[in-house]
């Protein structure tokens, strides 16, 4: 199980248990989703997702997640791109040494 933080920029339904999260490398199932409070009320909603890779789950667990999603109105697929890494701050001395 791993944790992913995701902003919901496009609007639409919020992620919930049983939804699928697709990234360029893997497909995940959402086990639990929490809303993260934002300082700026106009910012896009942010969610902390507890996910597991699709191939790591047993068939019985997949079936339970699917049943949970059906009870809540169906499963949704969310596209996820990892945030770019922050550039390291370079001091003036380090810049001049290059």
Helices and strands: H and E segment counts in the chain: 2, 5
Q: Is 65 exposed, middle or buried (0-12, 13-18, 19+ CB in 10 A)?
A: buried
List the end-to-end C-alpha distance of the chain, in Å, as a whole number.
42
pLDDT for 5-25, tens place per residue? 888 887 788 888 999 988 888
Confidence check: pLDDT of 33 > 80:
yes
**pLDDT category of residue 80 using cuts at 50, 70 and 90:** confident
Confidence of residue 54 (pLDDT cuts 50, 70, 90): confident
State the chain's mean pLDDT as an integer. Answer: 86
Q: What is the pTM of this model?
A: 0.73
Measured torsion, CA atoms of residues 54, 57, 62, 64, in degrees rounded to the nearest 10: -140
| Whole-number pLDDT of residue 98 | 74
| 60: enclosing H helix or E strand | helix 59-71
């Amino acid at each position: 199980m791993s944790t992913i933080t995701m902003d919901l920029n496009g609007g639409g339904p919020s992620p919930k248990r049983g939804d699928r999260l697709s990234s360029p490398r893997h497909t995940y199932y959402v086990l639990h989703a929490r809303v993260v409070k934002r300082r700026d009320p106009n910012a896009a909603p942010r969610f902390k997702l507890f996910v597991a890779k699709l191939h790591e789950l047993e068939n019985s667990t997949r079936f339970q997640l699917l049943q949970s999603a059906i009870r809540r109105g169906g499963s949704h697929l969310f596209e996820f791109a990892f945030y770019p890494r922050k550039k390291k701050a370079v001091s003036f001395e380090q810049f001049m040494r290059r």
